Amino acid sequence: MSTQAAPLGQVLRSERIKFTTLRSLWLPPLIAVLLTVGFGTAVGAAVGGEDDSLLRDPGVGIHYGLNFGQAALVCFGILLIGQEFNSGMIGVSLAAVPLRGRLYAGKLALGALVALAAGLAGTAGSFAGYAAFVPGDWDGPAAVRSAAAGVLYPVLMVVLCFGLTAVLRNLTAAMGLLVPTVFLLSPLLSGVPGVRYAVQFLPDQAGQYALRYADNPEIAYGHWTGLLIMALWAAAAAYAGLRTLRRRDA
Whether the predicted pLDDT of 1 surpasses 60: no
Q: What is the pLDDT of residues 106-115, one digit of tens each?
A: 999 999 999 9
What average pLDDT does the chain have?
89
Sign of CA dihedral 174, 96, 105, 24: negative
Give the distance from CA 67 to its chain's centroid.
11
pTM above 0.95, yes or no: no
Average pLDDT over residues 123-141: 86
* Per-residue pLDDT tens digits for 167-212: 999 999 999 888 888 777 777 787 777 788 888 999 999 999 999 9
- What does the chain come to in residues? 250
Whole-number pLDDT of residue 64: 92
- pLDDT of 235 reads 98
pLDDT per position as a tens digit, 83-114: 998 888 888 888 888 889 999 999 999 999 99
| Distance separating alpha carbons of residues 159 and 153, to the nearest angstrom | 10
Q: Which helix (H) or strand (E) holds 240?
A: helix 223-247
C-alpha 158/C-alpha 168 separation (Å) is 15
Tell me: pLDDT of 56 over 60: yes
Of residues 61, 249, 19, 18, the one with CA closest to residue 150: 61
CA trace torsion 206, 152, 86, 202 (10° rounding): 0
pLDDT at position 58 is 86
What residues have CB less than 8 Å from 54, skipping those under 6 apart? 43, 47, 60, 61, 134
Whether 54 has a pLDDT exceeding 70, the answer reads no
- pLDDT value of position 192: 78
Of 157 and 193, the structure prediction assigns the larger pLDDT to 157
pLDDT of 3 strictly over 60: no
Instruction: Answer whether residue 5 shows pLDDT above 70.
Output: no
